[in-house]
Amino acid sequence: MWRENVKTIRNELIDSFHEAREDELNEKPASGGWSIAQVVLHLAGAETRFMELALRSATETMEKGEKVDLTVFDDPGHKMIAPIDPPDEHRTFDELIESLHASRQLTERLESSYTSEELEQKTMDHHRFGIMPIEQVFELLGRHEKRHIRQTHRIKEQITRP
């Protein structure tokens, strides 16, 4: 299910900012926080880290792990601190799309290299959630992007208020 969902969610992400002007993509809300461009770069970087860990772990482990609870991503009131802040440099729409495309290639590589059944039998050690089945990385990716799609909508509202 999540393997297919991440494709739909990625389209929702792009839809959430595709009509924004370049200055809007790079504007931070007056209340502080990231710009839309920084959110997108954060997502591309996180996807790269998730998938590099999953791909590396898939070749190293053969143990079965229990699914972890990832519903924390569904609660916008639960503040989560990113381990790495995204760059604060001006970005164009095309640069953001290229970042998302590059990170997605790793996801596609994992998806095409292993079946769901194979990845259910292998684990990875995520810095926040601990030992989890590698197959669950697709859920992690999807829930993470959904959380930040909501954030891009909030940012757009904040920067377009008169």
Tens digit of each residue's pLDDT (9 = 90 or more) over 46-104: 999 999 999 999 998 667 789 999 999 988 888 888 888 899 999 999 999 999 999 99
For residue 8, is it left (φ>0), alpha (ψ between -120 and 50) or beta?
Answer: alpha
pTM score, two decimals? 0.93
Residue span of the structural domain in which 62 resides: 2-17+33-159
119-153 per-position pLDDT tens digit: 999 999 999 999 999 999 999 999 999 999 999 99
Distance from the Cα of residue 51 to its chain's centroid = 10
With residues binned 3-state (H G I as helix, E B as strand, rest as coil), the percentages for the chain, rounded to 5, are 65, 5, 30
Distance CA 50, CA 102 (A): 13
CA atoms within 13 A on the CB side of 158: 18
In a domain, 26, yes or no: no
- Give the per-residue pLDDT at 162: 56
Distance CA 113, CA 55 (A): 9
Count the domains in the chain.
Answer: 1
In a domain, 46, yes or no: yes
In a domain, 22, yes or no: no
CATH number at residue 129: 1.20.120.450
In a domain, 101, yes or no: yes
